[in-house]
Protein backbone atom coordinates (compact mmCIF):
# COMPACT_ATOMS: atom_id res chain seq x y z
CA UNK A 1 0.00 0.00 0.00
CA UNK A 2 1.29 3.44 -0.92
CA UNK A 3 1.86 6.13 1.64
CA UNK A 4 0.68 9.11 -0.39
CA UNK A 5 1.65 12.60 0.69
CA UNK A 6 -0.99 15.19 -0.21
CA UNK A 7 -0.34 18.82 -1.02
CA UNK A 8 -3.58 20.57 -1.91
CA UNK A 9 -3.74 23.52 -4.25
CA UNK A 10 -4.09 26.95 -2.74
CA UNK A 11 -5.37 28.35 -6.04
CA UNK A 12 -8.24 26.12 -7.25
CA UNK A 13 -9.11 26.60 -10.91
CA UNK A 14 -12.57 27.50 -12.16
CA UNK A 15 -14.48 24.33 -13.00
CA UNK A 16 -16.33 24.06 -16.30
CA UNK A 17 -19.76 25.66 -16.13
CA UNK A 18 -22.76 23.30 -16.16
CA UNK A 19 -23.65 22.59 -19.78
CA UNK A 20 -20.29 23.84 -21.08
CA UNK A 21 -19.02 21.81 -24.05
CA UNK A 22 -16.05 19.90 -22.65
CA UNK A 23 -14.65 18.17 -25.71
CA UNK A 24 -12.10 15.48 -24.95
CA UNK A 25 -8.84 15.94 -23.04
CA UNK A 26 -8.63 19.74 -23.03
CA UNK A 27 -9.38 20.58 -19.40
CA UNK A 28 -7.39 19.34 -16.39
CA UNK A 29 -8.34 19.24 -12.73
CA UNK A 30 -6.63 20.85 -9.73
CA UNK A 31 -4.41 17.92 -8.73
CA UNK A 32 -2.25 15.13 -10.12
CA UNK A 33 -0.61 12.03 -8.70
CA UNK A 34 3.13 11.60 -9.17
CA UNK A 35 5.62 8.94 -8.05
CA UNK A 36 9.31 8.32 -8.82
CA UNK A 37 11.17 5.16 -9.67
CA UNK A 38 14.87 4.76 -9.10
CA UNK A 39 16.76 1.56 -9.79
CA UNK A 40 17.67 -0.07 -6.48
CA UNK A 41 15.00 1.86 -4.60
CA UNK A 42 11.89 0.96 -6.60
CA UNK A 43 8.78 3.16 -6.78
CA UNK A 44 8.91 5.85 -4.12
CA UNK A 45 7.79 9.29 -3.02
CA UNK A 46 4.12 8.91 -3.94
CA UNK A 47 2.40 12.28 -3.77
CA UNK A 48 -0.67 14.19 -4.87
CA UNK A 49 0.24 17.75 -5.75
CA UNK A 50 -1.37 20.72 -7.49
CA UNK A 51 -1.57 20.11 -11.26
CA UNK A 52 1.65 21.51 -12.65
CA UNK A 53 4.22 21.34 -15.42
CA UNK A 54 7.06 18.86 -15.03
CA UNK A 55 10.67 19.71 -15.66
CA UNK A 56 12.81 17.23 -17.60
CA UNK A 57 16.29 17.35 -19.03
CA UNK A 58 16.30 17.54 -22.84
CA UNK A 59 18.24 14.28 -22.85
CA UNK A 60 15.49 12.45 -20.89
CA UNK A 61 15.14 9.10 -22.63
CA UNK A 62 11.42 9.35 -23.20
CA UNK A 63 11.98 12.16 -25.71
CA UNK A 64 14.29 10.07 -27.85
CA UNK A 65 13.29 6.43 -27.75
CA UNK A 66 9.68 6.55 -26.60
CA UNK A 67 10.03 4.35 -23.52
CA UNK A 68 6.63 5.16 -22.10
CA UNK A 69 3.25 3.62 -21.43
CA UNK A 70 -0.19 5.07 -20.76
CA UNK A 71 -3.63 3.96 -19.69
CA UNK A 72 -7.11 5.42 -20.01
CA UNK A 73 -10.15 4.90 -17.81
CA UNK A 74 -13.09 6.90 -16.53
CA UNK A 75 -14.78 7.96 -13.32
CA UNK A 76 -18.49 8.70 -13.15
CA UNK A 77 -20.57 10.22 -10.44
CA UNK A 78 -23.49 8.16 -9.16
CA UNK A 79 -26.84 9.55 -8.14
CA UNK A 80 -25.61 9.27 -4.56
CA UNK A 81 -22.88 11.78 -5.40
CA UNK A 82 -20.13 9.17 -5.06
CA UNK A 83 -17.42 8.56 -7.65
CA UNK A 84 -17.30 5.22 -9.47
CA UNK A 85 -14.43 3.85 -11.52
CA UNK A 86 -14.98 1.53 -14.46
CA UNK A 87 -12.91 -1.65 -13.96
CA UNK A 88 -9.65 -0.02 -12.82
CA UNK A 89 -8.17 -3.43 -11.94
CA UNK A 90 -8.21 -4.26 -15.66
CA UNK A 91 -6.22 -1.11 -16.42
CA UNK A 92 -3.73 -2.00 -13.70
CA UNK A 93 -3.17 -5.44 -15.26
CA UNK A 94 -2.88 -4.05 -18.78
CA UNK A 95 -0.47 -1.35 -17.58
CA UNK A 96 1.87 -4.05 -16.34
CA UNK A 97 1.58 -5.98 -19.61
CA UNK A 98 2.66 -2.79 -21.38
CA UNK A 99 5.40 -2.23 -18.78
CA UNK A 100 6.78 -5.73 -19.31
CA UNK A 101 6.96 -5.28 -23.07
CA UNK A 102 8.65 -1.88 -22.75
CA UNK A 103 11.12 -2.88 -20.00
CA UNK A 104 9.44 -0.45 -17.61
CA UNK A 105 9.28 -1.57 -13.97
CA UNK A 106 5.91 -2.97 -12.89
CA UNK A 107 3.66 -1.12 -10.50
CA UNK A 108 1.81 -3.35 -8.01
CA UNK A 109 -1.81 -3.47 -9.20
CA UNK A 110 -3.16 -2.36 -5.85
CA UNK A 111 -0.82 0.66 -5.84
CA UNK A 112 -1.88 1.61 -9.37
CA UNK A 113 -5.55 1.51 -8.34
CA UNK A 114 -4.90 3.25 -5.01
CA UNK A 115 -3.12 6.14 -6.74
CA UNK A 116 -6.09 6.61 -9.08
CA UNK A 117 -8.69 6.31 -6.33
CA UNK A 118 -6.97 8.86 -4.11
CA UNK A 119 -6.43 11.52 -6.75
CA UNK A 120 -9.98 11.05 -8.10
CA UNK A 121 -11.37 11.34 -4.56
CA UNK A 122 -9.55 14.65 -4.08
CA UNK A 123 -10.85 16.04 -7.38
CA UNK A 124 -14.27 14.36 -7.13
CA UNK A 125 -16.07 17.66 -7.61
CA UNK A 126 -14.58 17.83 -11.11
CA UNK A 127 -16.53 14.77 -12.27
CA UNK A 128 -19.04 16.17 -14.73
CA UNK A 129 -22.61 14.94 -14.54
CA UNK A 130 -24.13 15.96 -17.90
CA UNK A 131 -25.20 12.99 -20.04
CA UNK A 132 -22.27 11.73 -22.11
CA UNK A 133 -19.59 13.24 -19.86
CA UNK A 134 -17.15 11.71 -17.38
CA UNK A 135 -13.81 12.28 -15.74
CA UNK A 136 -11.21 10.79 -18.08
CA UNK A 137 -8.22 9.44 -16.14
CA UNK A 138 -4.83 9.25 -17.81
CA UNK A 139 -2.13 7.33 -15.90
CA UNK A 140 1.25 7.22 -17.67
CA UNK A 141 4.90 6.40 -17.13
CA UNK A 142 7.89 8.08 -18.76
CA UNK A 143 11.58 7.16 -18.81
CA UNK A 144 13.61 10.01 -17.34
CA UNK A 145 17.30 8.97 -17.47
CA UNK A 146 19.48 11.73 -18.87
CA UNK A 147 21.29 9.58 -21.41
CA UNK A 148 21.33 9.15 -25.17
CA UNK A 149 22.25 5.45 -25.31
CA UNK A 150 19.52 2.99 -26.24
CA UNK A 151 18.84 0.98 -23.07
CA UNK A 152 16.06 0.70 -20.50
CA UNK A 153 16.03 3.78 -18.28
CA UNK A 154 16.95 3.41 -14.61
CA UNK A 155 14.56 6.20 -13.52
CA UNK A 156 10.90 6.85 -14.31
CA UNK A 157 7.94 8.99 -13.37
CA UNK A 158 4.43 7.61 -12.93
CA UNK A 159 1.82 10.36 -13.22
CA UNK A 160 -1.99 10.38 -13.16
CA UNK A 161 -3.85 13.36 -14.58
CA UNK A 162 -7.61 13.88 -14.78
CA UNK A 163 -9.68 15.54 -17.47
CA UNK A 164 -13.43 16.23 -17.35
CA UNK A 165 -14.45 15.19 -20.84
CA UNK A 166 -17.31 14.73 -23.25
CA UNK A 167 -17.40 12.74 -26.48
CA UNK A 168 -14.08 11.79 -28.11
CA UNK A 169 -15.33 12.34 -31.65
CA UNK A 170 -16.37 15.77 -32.80
CA UNK A 171 -19.56 14.22 -34.11
CA UNK A 172 -20.43 13.09 -30.57
CA UNK A 173 -22.20 9.76 -30.66
CA UNK A 174 -23.42 10.18 -34.25
CA UNK A 175 -22.19 7.41 -36.58
CA UNK A 176 -18.56 7.87 -37.65
CA UNK A 177 -16.95 7.18 -41.02
CA UNK A 178 -14.07 4.69 -40.96
CA UNK A 179 -11.24 4.48 -43.49
CA UNK A 180 -9.87 0.97 -44.03
CA UNK A 181 -6.15 1.58 -44.50
CA UNK A 182 -4.44 -0.50 -47.17
CA UNK A 183 -1.09 1.29 -47.43
CA UNK A 184 0.30 1.87 -43.92
CA UNK A 185 0.18 -0.59 -41.01
CA UNK A 186 -0.02 0.08 -37.27
CA UNK A 187 1.54 -2.96 -35.66
CA UNK A 188 2.79 -6.48 -36.26
CA UNK A 189 2.76 -9.56 -34.08
CA UNK A 190 5.87 -9.63 -31.93
CA UNK A 191 5.88 -5.83 -31.90
CA UNK A 192 4.15 -3.49 -29.45
CA UNK A 193 0.59 -3.47 -30.82
CA UNK A 194 -0.91 -5.05 -27.69
CA UNK A 195 0.77 -2.49 -25.44
CA UNK A 196 -0.61 0.94 -24.74
CA UNK A 197 2.38 3.03 -25.67
CA UNK A 198 3.02 6.19 -27.62
CA UNK A 199 4.84 4.52 -30.53
CA UNK A 200 1.66 2.82 -31.76
CA UNK A 201 -0.12 6.14 -31.92
CA UNK A 202 2.82 7.95 -33.55
CA UNK A 203 2.83 5.24 -36.22
CA UNK A 204 -0.87 5.80 -36.83
CA UNK A 205 -0.81 9.54 -37.44
CA UNK A 206 0.03 9.56 -41.15
CA UNK A 207 -2.93 7.37 -42.04
CA UNK A 208 -5.18 9.29 -39.68
CA UNK A 209 -4.31 12.53 -41.47
CA UNK A 210 -5.05 10.82 -44.78
CA UNK A 211 -8.40 9.60 -43.45
CA UNK A 212 -9.31 13.03 -42.08
CA UNK A 213 -8.41 14.66 -45.39
CA UNK A 214 -10.75 12.18 -47.03
CA UNK A 215 -13.57 13.13 -44.63
CA UNK A 216 -13.30 10.09 -42.31
CA UNK A 217 -12.94 10.12 -38.50
CA UNK A 218 -10.69 7.14 -37.91
CA UNK A 219 -8.57 4.49 -39.54
CA UNK A 220 -9.39 0.78 -39.44
CA UNK A 221 -6.09 -1.08 -39.50
CA UNK A 222 -5.42 -4.30 -41.33
CA UNK A 223 -2.83 -6.85 -40.20
CA UNK A 224 0.75 -5.78 -40.76
CA UNK A 225 1.82 -8.84 -42.78
CA UNK A 226 -0.86 -9.68 -45.35
CA UNK A 227 -3.00 -6.54 -45.02
CA UNK A 228 -5.90 -8.92 -45.25
CA UNK A 229 -7.30 -9.32 -41.74
CA UNK A 230 -9.05 -6.60 -39.75
CA UNK A 231 -7.33 -5.53 -36.55
CA UNK A 232 -8.72 -2.43 -34.80
CA UNK A 233 -9.44 1.26 -35.13
CA UNK A 234 -7.04 4.05 -34.09
CA UNK A 235 -8.63 4.55 -30.67
CA UNK A 236 -11.08 1.67 -30.35
CA UNK A 237 -11.68 -2.01 -31.02
CA UNK A 238 -14.11 -2.90 -33.77
CA UNK A 239 -17.18 -5.15 -33.75
CA UNK A 240 -19.49 -6.27 -36.52
CA UNK A 241 -22.96 -7.70 -36.41
CA UNK A 242 -22.98 -10.13 -39.31
CA UNK A 243 -26.01 -12.32 -39.93
CA UNK A 244 -27.17 -11.97 -36.32
CA UNK A 245 -23.76 -12.72 -34.76
CA UNK A 246 -21.37 -10.36 -33.03
CA UNK A 247 -18.01 -10.85 -34.71
CA UNK A 248 -14.77 -9.21 -33.65
CA UNK A 249 -11.09 -9.77 -34.46
CA UNK A 250 -9.46 -12.12 -31.96
CA UNK A 251 -6.66 -10.80 -29.78
CA UNK A 252 -3.48 -11.76 -31.56
CA UNK A 253 -0.70 -9.71 -30.03
CA UNK A 254 -0.96 -6.77 -32.38
CA UNK A 255 -4.37 -5.54 -31.17
CA UNK A 256 -4.95 -3.64 -27.92
CA UNK A 257 -7.02 -5.84 -25.57
CA UNK A 258 -9.70 -3.27 -24.92
CA UNK A 259 -11.46 -3.24 -21.58
CA UNK A 260 -14.63 -1.97 -23.23
CA UNK A 261 -14.27 -4.79 -25.79
CA UNK A 262 -14.08 -7.31 -22.98
CA UNK A 263 -17.13 -5.78 -21.27
CA UNK A 264 -19.21 -5.72 -24.47
CA UNK A 265 -18.36 -9.35 -25.28
CA UNK A 266 -19.42 -10.36 -21.76
CA UNK A 267 -22.58 -8.35 -22.13
CA UNK A 268 -23.50 -9.82 -25.54
CA UNK A 269 -22.83 -13.37 -24.30
CA UNK A 270 -24.86 -12.60 -21.22
CA UNK A 271 -27.69 -11.53 -23.49
CA UNK A 272 -27.48 -14.97 -25.14
CA UNK A 273 -26.07 -13.72 -28.43
CA UNK A 274 -23.67 -15.62 -30.64
CA UNK A 275 -20.26 -14.01 -30.24
CA UNK A 276 -17.23 -14.91 -32.34
CA UNK A 277 -13.68 -13.77 -31.63
CA UNK A 278 -11.75 -14.85 -34.70
CA UNK A 279 -9.85 -13.70 -37.73
CA UNK A 280 -12.06 -11.45 -39.87
CA UNK A 281 -10.81 -10.70 -43.35
CA UNK A 282 -11.62 -7.47 -45.09
CA UNK A 283 -12.92 -9.56 -48.01
CA UNK A 284 -15.42 -11.26 -45.69
CA UNK A 285 -16.54 -7.85 -44.45
CA UNK A 286 -17.04 -6.48 -47.95
CA UNK A 287 -18.88 -9.65 -49.02
CA UNK A 288 -21.16 -9.37 -45.96
CA UNK A 289 -21.82 -5.75 -46.82
CA UNK A 290 -22.63 -6.55 -50.44
CA UNK A 291 -24.99 -9.40 -49.53
CA UNK A 292 -26.83 -7.34 -46.91
CA UNK A 293 -25.59 -9.55 -44.03
CA UNK A 294 -23.57 -6.78 -42.45
CA UNK A 295 -26.16 -5.47 -40.02
CA UNK A 296 -24.10 -3.13 -37.85
CA UNK A 297 -20.58 -1.92 -37.18
CA UNK A 298 -19.48 -0.26 -33.95
CA UNK A 299 -16.30 0.60 -32.12
CA UNK A 300 -15.61 0.11 -28.41
CA UNK A 301 -13.22 2.14 -26.31
CA UNK A 302 -12.90 4.14 -23.13
CA UNK A 303 -12.66 7.53 -24.83
CA UNK A 304 -14.77 6.49 -27.81
CA UNK A 305 -17.34 4.61 -25.65
CA UNK A 306 -19.60 2.71 -28.07
CA UNK A 307 -19.36 4.48 -31.40
CA UNK A 308 -21.66 3.45 -34.20
CA UNK A 309 -19.95 3.33 -37.58
CA UNK A 310 -22.04 4.69 -40.43
CA UNK A 311 -19.70 4.37 -43.38
CA UNK A 312 -16.68 2.29 -44.40
CA UNK A 313 -14.26 3.21 -47.14
CA UNK A 314 -12.07 0.53 -48.68
CA UNK A 315 -10.01 0.78 -51.86
CA UNK A 316 -11.54 4.09 -52.92
CA UNK A 317 -15.09 2.88 -52.44
CA UNK A 318 -17.40 4.15 -49.66
CA UNK A 319 -19.96 1.68 -48.35
CA UNK A 320 -22.72 2.05 -45.77
CA UNK A 321 -21.97 0.07 -42.61
CA UNK A 322 -25.60 -0.87 -42.12
CA UNK A 323 -27.87 -3.49 -43.55
CA UNK A 324 -30.11 -1.87 -46.18
CA UNK A 325 -32.86 -4.37 -45.38
CA UNK A 326 -32.78 -3.96 -41.62
CA UNK A 327 -36.21 -3.00 -40.30
CA UNK A 328 -34.73 -1.00 -37.42
CA UNK A 329 -32.28 1.02 -39.52
CA UNK A 330 -29.47 -1.29 -38.49
CA UNK A 331 -28.46 0.11 -35.17
CA UNK A 332 -30.48 -1.78 -32.55
CA UNK A 333 -27.51 -3.72 -31.23
CA UNK A 334 -25.32 -0.67 -30.99
CA UNK A 335 -28.06 1.27 -29.27
CA UNK A 336 -28.70 -1.51 -26.81
CA UNK A 337 -25.07 -1.56 -25.82
CA UNK A 338 -24.82 2.21 -25.81
CA UNK A 339 -27.82 2.41 -23.52
CA UNK A 340 -26.31 -0.13 -21.23
CA UNK A 341 -22.70 0.93 -21.10
CA UNK A 342 -22.74 4.67 -21.66
CA UNK A 343 -23.63 6.42 -18.44
CA UNK A 344 -26.51 8.33 -19.88
CA UNK A 345 -28.93 7.75 -17.04
CA UNK A 346 -28.27 9.90 -14.03
CA UNK A 347 -29.40 7.11 -11.72
CA UNK A 348 -26.94 4.59 -13.11
CA UNK A 349 -23.19 4.49 -13.08
CA UNK A 350 -21.09 2.77 -15.65
CA UNK A 351 -18.92 1.49 -12.84
CA UNK A 352 -21.71 -0.87 -11.96
CA UNK A 353 -21.30 -2.95 -15.07
CA UNK A 354 -18.84 -5.59 -14.13
CA UNK A 355 -20.11 -8.68 -15.80
CA UNK A 356 -19.08 -12.09 -14.69
CA UNK A 357 -21.25 -14.05 -17.09
CA UNK A 358 -24.07 -15.11 -14.82
CA UNK A 359 -27.61 -15.90 -15.97
CA UNK A 360 -28.93 -15.11 -19.39
CA UNK A 361 -31.43 -12.50 -20.39
CA UNK A 362 -32.70 -14.31 -23.41
CA UNK A 363 -33.77 -11.31 -25.41
CA UNK A 364 -31.04 -11.59 -28.04
CA UNK A 365 -29.75 -8.19 -27.15
CA UNK A 366 -32.93 -6.42 -28.14
CA UNK A 367 -35.89 -5.16 -26.24
CA UNK A 368 -35.65 -5.76 -22.53
CA UNK A 369 -32.72 -4.07 -20.91
CA UNK A 370 -31.35 -5.80 -17.83
CA UNK A 371 -30.92 -3.63 -14.81
CA UNK A 372 -27.23 -2.99 -14.32
CA UNK A 373 -27.62 -2.69 -10.60
CA UNK A 374 -28.56 -6.38 -10.46
CA UNK A 375 -25.05 -7.24 -11.54
CA UNK A 376 -23.21 -4.54 -9.75
CA UNK A 377 -20.15 -5.28 -7.72
CA UNK A 378 -18.86 -1.74 -7.88
CA UNK A 379 -18.33 0.20 -4.72
CA UNK A 380 -18.02 3.96 -4.55
CA UNK A 381 -14.55 5.33 -3.85
| Angstrom distance (rounded) from CA 241 to CA 309 | 11
Stretches 38-46, 165-173, 256-264, 370-378: which one binds ligand PLP (CB under 6 A)? 256-264
Contacting range for ligand PLP; rule: CB under 6 A; set: 27-35, 118-126, 127-135, 257-265 = 257-265
How many residues bind ligand PLP (CB under 6 A)? The answer is: 13
Question: Are 310 and 176 contacting, i.e. CB atoms less than 8 angstroms apart?
Answer: yes
CB 153 within 8 A of CB 286: no
Question: Binding ligand PLP by CB under 6 A: which of 60, 72, 107, 271?
Answer: 72
Euclidean distance between CA atoms 197 and 194, whole angstroms: 9
- The Cα 194–Cα 6 span in angstroms is 34
Helix pair angle (88-101, 109-122), 10° resolution: 130
- Tell me if 375 contacts ligand PLP by CB under 6 A: no
Residue 10 C-beta: closest distance to ligand COI, Å? 31
139, 193, 198, 301: residue in contact with ligand COI (rule CB under 6 A):
301
Question: Is residue 85 a contact residue for ligand PLP (CB under 6 A)?
Answer: no
Determine the Cα–Cα distance for residues 214 and 216; give it in Å rounded to an integer.
6
Tell me, residue by residue from 208 to 247, as one string, x for binding to ligand COI by CB under 6 A and - for no binding: ---------------------------x------------
Residue 82, classed as helix, strand or coil, is coil
Interacting partner of 105 out of ligand PLP, ligand COI, none (Cβ under 5 to 8 A depending on kind): none
Helix or strand run (H / E) with residue 208? helix 198-213
Output 60 or 285, the one with its CB closest to ligand PLP. Answer: 285
- Per CB under 6 A, the segment of 51-59, 270-278, 300-308, 333-341 that binds ligand COI is 300-308
Any contact of residue 96 with ligand PLP (CB under 6 A)? no
75 lines the binding site for ligand COI (CB under 6 A): no
For ligand COI, give the closer residue by CB, 318 or 354.
354
- Per-residue burial over 161-195, b if 16 or more Cβ lie within 10 Å, else e, is bbbbbbbbbeeebebbbbbbbeebbbbeeebbbbb
Q: Give 204's contacts (C-beta < 8 A, 6+ positions apart).
A: 186, 219, 221, 234
Do residues 263 and 286 make contact, with C-beta atoms less than 8 angstroms apart?
A: no
Specify the stretch interacting with ligand PLP by CB under 6 A; choose among 110-118, 126-134, 228-236, 274-282.
228-236
As a whole number of angstroms, the distance between CA 329 and CA 321 comes to 11
Task: Check if the beta carbon of residue 31 is closer than 8 Å to that of residue 48.
Answer: yes
List binders of ligand PLP among 261-290 (CB under 6 A): 261
Out of 72, 78, 164, 365, name the contact with ligand COI by CB under 6 A: 72
- Is residue 128 within the footprint of ligand PLP (CB under 6 A)? no
Give the whole-angstrom CA distance, residue 222 versus residue 314.
11
List the one residue out of 247, 251, 288, 249 whose CA is nearest residue 268: 247
Min CB(32)–ligand COI separation in Å = 17
Out of 255, 303, 332, 341, name the contact with ligand COI by CB under 6 A: 303
Q: Which does 370 bind (CB under 5 to 8 A by kind): ligand PLP, ligand COI, none?
A: none
Told to check if 308 binds ligand COI by CB under 6 A, we report: no
Query: What is the C-alpha to C-alpha distance for residues 269 and 58, in angstroms, rounded to an integer?
Result: 50
Q: Which residue is nearest to ligand COI (CB)?
A: 72
Residues forming the site for ligand PLP (CB under 6 A): 72, 232, 235-237, 256, 258-261, 300-302
Residues forming the site for ligand COI (CB under 6 A): 72, 235, 301-303
Amino acid sequence: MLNIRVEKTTAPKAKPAPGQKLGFGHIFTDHMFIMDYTEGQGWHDARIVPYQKIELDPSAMVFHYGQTMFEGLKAYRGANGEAYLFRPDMNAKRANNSNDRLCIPRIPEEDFVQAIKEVVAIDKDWIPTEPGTSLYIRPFIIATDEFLGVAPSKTYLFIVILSPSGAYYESGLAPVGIWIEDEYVRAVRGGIGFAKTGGNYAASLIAQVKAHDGGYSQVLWLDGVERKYIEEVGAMNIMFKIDGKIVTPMLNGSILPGITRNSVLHLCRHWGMDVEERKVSVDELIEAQKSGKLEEVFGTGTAAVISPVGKLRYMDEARPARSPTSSDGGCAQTENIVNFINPIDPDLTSGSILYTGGGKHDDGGRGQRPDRREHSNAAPL
